Structure 1
């Protein structure tokens, strides 16, 4: 009988184990004269909230124009006036002059050079924002409903997200030693210890995502998270506990059927006093049993898929010493973008701004970055970043509403009622030229595609439909395209796979409709689906409900 081949750890696992709790070889390379870090160091760098990139538009053979992307860790996307203004200044001083709102309610700065990376991170921390844990194989930014208090529940969920984020931060002092000269500028609620009691010396097998929703409000795409929590309230409007969802995730690989997007499963209900133990124990299961050889199979969704929910639950109970209660029934989820003017529970108002593809910038058509700075600084508004990469400006007095609208009008910034649904419900990832994983265009391509699609919708009288349209430059799915009504996923050079049939509420996966479609043909491939939906739908049936009811036909049959 032949000997069984010994399984080995992936190279990245070895790098993590040898990093001395996220220090080496990064610490030795920060101050050298190179324009970039070594391959081993960039894997550690991610844990510190930074990705090494190069501008692929400027590549010449092996010559690369290296730069860095920095991502903040901002639980529930909540920023103060001063924090937003500080990041806005940093974008001009050290980055490319733009900010980008991510689909995890954080910001990204692009274009920082290595010589200024340490100074940039210090400036960000001086604003009391950390980048530690915004990337890497740990729990990423904890998401939660972005709206300020409307009925007294939103702030309580956000406060919990803030507390949970601090609890789940890595304990290593490496971040403070390397970037902040050992000074602990950002102060979490738990004292930093040298050991990693939650993550261990190897950290997690892959990134891990946590999102917290309110009943009905799925603005965080709950079912796409590794752990999704739905806050439930008592008669006094206090959080009494949470429904727990596990095993969601979007990433896949076109050529590997063993990879796939997955929605989370309903696990059960837990009281508030026990929920942190539940979250930590779930993370511990993934830490101890997640795949560490093949990173394409390393997300927790694959562990639950392989084990089954029953085995996963038994392992959880063995760690907790108690069972979760049954999952409580909830009303249907919906997606509220919180755009336009909305009143807060204290009588003030907040304004939701649609930020196309999350990019805050000035250009020839409008000066969004300048307008936002003027409004935030003049009126002292709070700033909330949303999972649909929009911005909410909070705490606006009634008498200031018209003044704020006038400022946006002055700079050519369109408000909610001036934009089409197709634009408001669309999202694209950055993709080319900066993302190293990008196969195709996304952020630079989707605006024209959406406007062409918007023309078709208007032609068919479907302009009032709330179609979620999401594009990614690769199959990793950062904009969560696999739950969209229409998903365009990068497949090969300037070609995409079309997915149809999810929903804006994020409660259903879509299905592959057509593969290897050239960018110029995307809208015309979708048009027959819209035409058939227009003629055959029943009552107020949505686009995706219709296609899930009748079943997607072969593209040729639909087009005939």
Structure 2
């Protein structure tokens, strides 16, 4: 008996009371079909019924409602204004101008005249009516895109560093990331049957999923590839991270990091964020085998009885890192090599023009909180469409919700510059160092989990913090700040130097002390407080930082050295 045959706690043959309802739902879903097709056709509601709401997440779709008008709808005895969010699967954040133009058209036709760039390098459509979901899915299919497994208990969209200066290396790492994404995408025929109207090819006697079986993963599983020294994907926040090891410009392989994750629940100390642990090195031709081995360990040993502790980070801590490493090696059939040396210096983006080693030009455009639409004084949506119509290279979505107009021939740069200027987009890369390093989740009004504002509020809060920074001569100081409307951590707040997570309307937890390169967790300093208390404490710390910082010292490092927070060395101690 091998090590991984000694404990099959996910086995669906166990008594159902030992499994969460979600596990039973997945097992009985007919490989994610459920009754989704019937629910989409139901004429008397804008929603879908029962378990299909959860099953649709595996198809990249969330049912939501407009919470700005929820109370008014209730008073009128109407059902909530149900709409749907669809998330595109876009490994590494790379797309063509033709794909951008299709996304633009779908956003204008079906999603409230907007797109949203996410913190995992992809796109979300919001405000889609149920009757239009198939049109969106089929439109994406026209340009070889889909929403498969962009949500749900599976391997989510795979991230990859977007460093535009390292042209050949980026191309190689991106290809590996896309290969991992294609490999880990669920194989069920449910998606083309429901969304494209294809005939069913299987008879249902056996699972259609060679990797996932009938119950898929215990919870979502996130994979990312990073190229030091820029930790743009926040590799330590991934369930499985591949850290590129490069020697004289040549990719040798990857250090393997396991067990990262951001989500937690307030008032539940058994839940916490965790940074991934580096366990060894693999050659670049072993990426797919490593994905299979690590995902297999989590599939078979992740907690399927307590969904709040079903992420891989808890499996790692519960089993122990040595056990996890041995289990992975057992499946690989070889021992991992010793981890190689590497270093990160930042997790932010370099805005503006950069030249790649192959001579092509790349322009990184800051998109505040990822929202692409036409604003009152800025036709952002129209401007990027005009660029896509003229651009002959590619686009890259960054993990910081920005957009790179990539692979521009130097002869075409004046044309792109003129379009940026004509639409006022050349002004977007300004602002303070804090604003340039900010990120927020969607939160209200569409996210059903949000307890407070995030995307709509953070720019206003930054303006007030900027005034404090300017008073102390720190306007250009790069400081990471992230905000989420709940503790789930979609904007990866727990590794920011300043972070806020929503507790109630207008109330937040405030955290300080994260690492500037995403290498350290922060810690809570204020709980469930409003803006005045947040600004008062930040004013105190910023003033102290201005007076007594050491040369080259970052804000998060100073917050720890000056005693405002204790350093968090392990996720298990985050709530201490």
TM-score range, shorter chain: over 0.9
Q: Which moved more, 1:475-484 or 1:322-331?
A: 322-331
Does residue 39 of structure 2 align to residue 26 of structure 1?
A: no
Partner-residue secondary structure (3-state), 2:425: coil
Contact 1:45 1:51 in 2 (8 A): yes
Unaligned segments of structure 1, at least 5 residues: 185-192, 555-560
So what's the TM-score if we normalise by structure 2?
Answer: 0.91
Contact 1:365 1:412 in 2 (8 A): no
In structure 2, C-alpha distance between the alignment counterparts of 1:297 and 1:452, rounded to whole Å:
37
Contact 1:98 1:369 in 2 (8 A): yes
Contact 1:485 1:510 in 2 (8 A): yes
In structure 2, C-alpha distance between the alignment counterparts of 1:277 and 1:179, rounded to whole Å:
31
So what's the TM-score if we normalise by structure 1?
Answer: 0.93
Indicate how the Cα distance of structure 1 residues 6 and 65 shifts in structure 2: closer, same or farther if over 3 A, else same: closer
In structure 1, C-alpha distance between the alignment counterparts of 2:207 and 2:252, rounded to whole Å:
34
- Partner residue of 1:327? 339
Partner-residue secondary structure (3-state), 1:69: strand
Contact 1:90 1:120 in 2 (8 A): yes
Deviations 1:90-147 (A, max 9, x none): 0001111111000000000111000111111111111111110111100001000123
Aligned counterpart in structure 1 of residue 68 of structure 2, from 57, 61, 79: 57
- Partner residue of 2:571? none
Contact 1:73 1:129 in 2 (8 A): yes
Aligned counterpart in structure 1 of residue 357 of structure 2, from 335, 345, 361: 345
- Summarize the alignment of residues 475-490 of structure 1 with structure 2, pairs less than 5 Å apart: 475-490=487-502
Q: Which moved more, 1:285-294 or 1:201-210?
A: 285-294
- Partner residue of 2:407? 395
Aligned counterpart in structure 2 of residue 412 of structure 1, from 397, 411, 424: 424
- Summarize the alignment of residues 246-395 of structure 1 with structure 2, pairs less than 5 Å apart: 246-395=258-407
Contact 2:432 2:477 in 1 (8 A): no
Does residue 563 of structure 2 align to residue 551 of structure 1?
A: yes
What's the offset of the Cα at 1:404?
2.5
- Partner residue of 1:45? 56
In structure 1, C-alpha distance between the alignment counterparts of 2:526 and 2:90, rounded to whole Å:
37
Does residue 172 of structure 2 align to residue 160 of structure 1?
A: no
In structure 1, C-alpha distance between the alignment counterparts of 2:363 and 2:554, rounded to whole Å:
28
- Partner residue of 1:539? 551
Does residue 465 of structure 2 align to residue 449 of structure 1?
A: no
- Partner residue of 1:188? none
Partner-residue secondary structure (3-state), 2:147: coil
Contact 2:559 2:565 in 1 (8 A): no
In structure 2, C-alpha distance between the alignment counterparts of 1:234 and 1:460, rounded to whole Å:
42
Contact 1:96 1:111 in 2 (8 A): yes
In structure 1, C-alpha distance between the alignment counterparts of 2:329 and 2:358, rounded to whole Å:
42
Indicate how the Cα distance of structure 1 residues 123 and 183 shifts in structure 2: closer, same or farther if over 3 A, else same: farther
Indicate how the Cα distance of structure 1 residues 183 and 132 shifts in structure 2: closer, same or farther if over 3 A, else same: farther
Contact 1:150 1:343 in 2 (8 A): no
- Partner residue of 1:101? 117
In structure 2, C-alpha distance between the alignment counterparts of 1:210 and 1:325, rounded to whole Å:
20
What's the offset of the Cα at 1:525?
2.6
- Partner residue of 1:9? 19
What's the offset of the Cα at 1:452?
1.1
Aligned counterpart in structure 2 of residue 493 of structure 1, from 496, 502, 505: 505
- Partner residue of 1:72? 88
In structure 2, C-alpha distance between the alignment counterparts of 1:200 and 1:382, rounded to whole Å:
36
Does residue 544 of structure 2 align to residue 528 of structure 1?
A: no
Contact 1:147 1:384 in 2 (8 A): no
Does residue 220 of structure 2 align to residue 207 of structure 1?
A: yes
In structure 1, C-alpha distance between the alignment counterparts of 2:241 and 2:32, rounded to whole Å:
27
Q: Which moved more, 1:407-416 or 1:112-121?
A: 407-416
Unaligned segments of structure 2, at least 5 residues: 1-14, 201-205, 567-576
Runs (4 or more) in structure 1 with deviation over 3 Å come to 414-417
In structure 1, C-alpha distance between the alignment counterparts of 2:344 and 2:526, rounded to whole Å:
30
Partner-residue secondary structure (3-state), 2:385: helix
